[in-house]
Amino acid sequence: MNIKRVINFSIFSFCLLLSAPVISQNQLERPKLVVGIVVDQMRWDYLYRFSNRYGNDGFKRLLNEGFSCENTMLNYVPSFTAIGHSSIYTGSVPSIHGIAGNEFIVQATGKSVYCTEDTAVYSVGYGDKKYKKGQMSPFNLKATTITDELKLATNFKSKVIGVSIKDRGAILPAGHAADAAYWFDGTSGYFITSSWYMKELPKWVVDFNNKKLPEQYLKKDWNTLYPIDTYTQSVSDNNNYEELYENSDNTQFPIKTSQLMKKNGYGLIAATPYGNSLTLDMAKEVIANEQMGEHQNTDFLAVSISSPDYIGHQFTVNSVKMEDNYLRLDKDLADFFAYLDGKIGKGNYVLYLTADHGASHNAQFLLDNKIPAGNWDEGAVRKELNQYLHQTFGVDDLVLSLSNYQVNFNYKKITKDIDKQKLIENCIDFFKKQSNVAYVVETAKAAEAAIPSVVKEKIINGYNRELCGEIQIILKPAWYSDSNLKGGTHGVWNPYDAHIPLVWMGWGIKHGKSNQEVYMTDIAPTVAALLHIQMPDGCIGKPILPVLGQ
């Protein structure tokens, strides 16, 4: 071998050494199961607000054993459920993933679309094929999820299943390539699915449905877990801020769900903490019957706990109902974690708990306590805006909707005679005169607007050209689109809606916490880093290094 050949050979060997995968000597290690838990409308402060009465095995176990990202924020508007679930699992934002609201308007047609509606699929588990609550799929989600990426990374051998009371809470996290997503149908009291996933329910789901657990739970009525006078973190029960259940004339504990169920149906369970128990019962059934965590490849269970959102909307964030909901959820979670320890093995699964958004206090409650707030009557404002525009353009109903705090134009009425830019400027002038509007911007020009960069970024991330109105309205803090002064809501950029819990526990997670600001879109890339798989294809987030011990 001449000297040149020796050098070439050495370089070749060195390159081989460099390119040899690290895993050749040590098997690539992954957890047996990933469990993603999204608690719908869980404000970050609920981790602490009720903690004096949390046990050691639920929320406190997460904090004591796991890693808490204490300042996790949403980085888009509007802050609604479908977007939250999509953004957690895609690591992306509406501008890219295409879920621009729970409902959004296709600008080209003016048609309102529900996030997971899909008339190309049929209902499985209840109703005929055209049963609307079953005609659901992830079709409208235009980016991969971390669950899709796990499927792609393991040649589709990983099992991925989503479970939730809400269809969107099960479908969007489970992604496009999921084995199943099961959601609750209030009419039948069953967990159902669609033909996107399968032609008929597995026998174990039919058996689970036949146990009629919703009825069993609701028969127990809903009373407080502890004597009601010990609920010191809430305003007094049966107050004026609470919305009545249908067919009920007060909101006083105990709530006679056994009676109300007869008139209101099984859907009632969604607005009680029994909805949490039912969801986790179903999650356990999925683990047991689908052998989750027992396959050669990592499996993924995506669970969304929807009832806190229903309870928040109806009774507000600092009601005795909400306090009781979290005390009960704490026990349910403790039980679920113990189940995972027994079935999968402590340290063999990684779990994260987060939320799709937070929530505000009831506006009237804030006003009664001298804090600025208010309700913005979207329907009345739209009517007034259309009258204002009529004066200049002589055309009725130029604005179709103000949903999602956006001006959605009625493009069929915008003929060549109408100067579009003048129309936009007229709308902006109208909103600038409204005392409850903080900012109003032409969304495509948001980058140049004189507004705080945090708000600006959220507007830009939330803006999907095909699915969002051309003007974004930002109300003053604690102002909401809601014509009703009862109950609570969410949907805006402000910290009460944008600040969510994010706690990790289990395989690969060291104990600790960080107050560094991170974003909802960082969750998926952090899971990707833990599993050594690709980030979702629209991901804009970054792995959260302290969670990875870096």
Which amino acids are annotated catalytic?
Answer: 81
Residue among 196 and 376 whose Cβ is closer to Zn ion: 376
If we measure between CA atoms, which residue out of 449, 442, 359 comes closest to residue 406?
442
* CA 202/CA 138 separation, integer angstroms: 20
How far apart CA 389 and CA 400 sit, in angstroms, is 12
Look at residues 217, 206, 209 and name the one whose alpha carbon lies nearest to residue 261: 217
Considering beta carbons, is residue 360 or 406 the nearer one to Zn ion?
A: 360
Angle at which helix 523-531 crosses helix 81-90, to 10 degrees, equals 30
- When the beta carbons of 146 and 165 are compared against Zn ion, the nearer one is 165
Q: Is the peptide bond before 308 cis (omega within 30 degrees of 0)?
A: no
Smaller CB distance to Zn ion: residue 185 or 309?
Answer: 309
Taking the least distance from each CB to Zn ion, the nearer of 317 and 373 is 317
Identify whether the C-beta of residue 230 lies closer than 8 Å to the C-beta of residue 246. no
6 by Cβ neighbours in 10 Å (0-12 / 13-18 / 19+) ranks as: exposed
Minimum CB separation from Zn ion for residue 357, in Å? 7
Both tokens of 422, joined, read 């003048």
Compute the least distance from the CB of residue 395 to Zn ion, in Å: 35
Nearest to 326 by CA among 63, 53, 37, 84: 53
Shortest Å distance, C-beta 522 to Zn ion: 23
Using CA atoms, how far residue 362 sits from 233, 240, 271, in Å, is 16, 10, 17
Q: Find the residue with minimal CB distance to Zn ion.
A: 309
Residue closer to Zn ion, measured from CB, 91 or 487: 487
Percentage helix, strand, coil for the chain under 3-state DSSP, each rounded to 5: 40, 15, 40
- Interface residues with Zn ion (CB under 5 A)? 309
Q: Residue 356 Cβ, how far from Zn ion at the closest point, in Å?
A: 8
CB 126 within 8 A of CB 188: yes
For the bound state, the minimum distance from the C-beta of residue 242 to Zn ion, rounded and expressed in Å, comes to: 16
**Burial grade of 386 (CB within 10 A; 0-12, 13-18, 19 or more):** middle
Quote the least distance from Cβ 257 to Zn ion, whole Å: 21
> Is the CB of 242 or the CB of 309 nearer to Zn ion?
309
Q: Strand, helix or coil at 166?
A: coil
Nearest to 538 by CA among 196, 141, 116: 141
Answer for the pair 291, 274: CB distance below 8 angstroms, yes or no. Answer: no
Per DSSP, helices labelled H in 176-221 are: 203-210, 213-219
CB 191 within 8 A of CB 184: yes
- In the complex, minimum distance from the CB of residue 102 to Zn ion, in angstroms, rounded to a whole number: 8
Interatomic CA distance for residues 293 and 227, integer angstroms: 40
Tell me how far, at minimum, the Cβ of 81 lies from Zn ion, in Å.
5
Tokens at 336, concatenated: 């679920």
Least separation in angstroms between residue 390's CB and Zn ion is 34
First to last CA, the chain: 47
What is the rounded CA–CA span in Å between residue 527 and residue 71?
A: 18
Closer of 309 and 324 to Zn ion (Cβ)? 309
Phi and psi torsions of 40, nearest 5°: -65, 120
* Closer residue to Zn ion, CB minimum distance, 309 or 332: 309
R_g (Cα) of the chain, nearest Å = 25
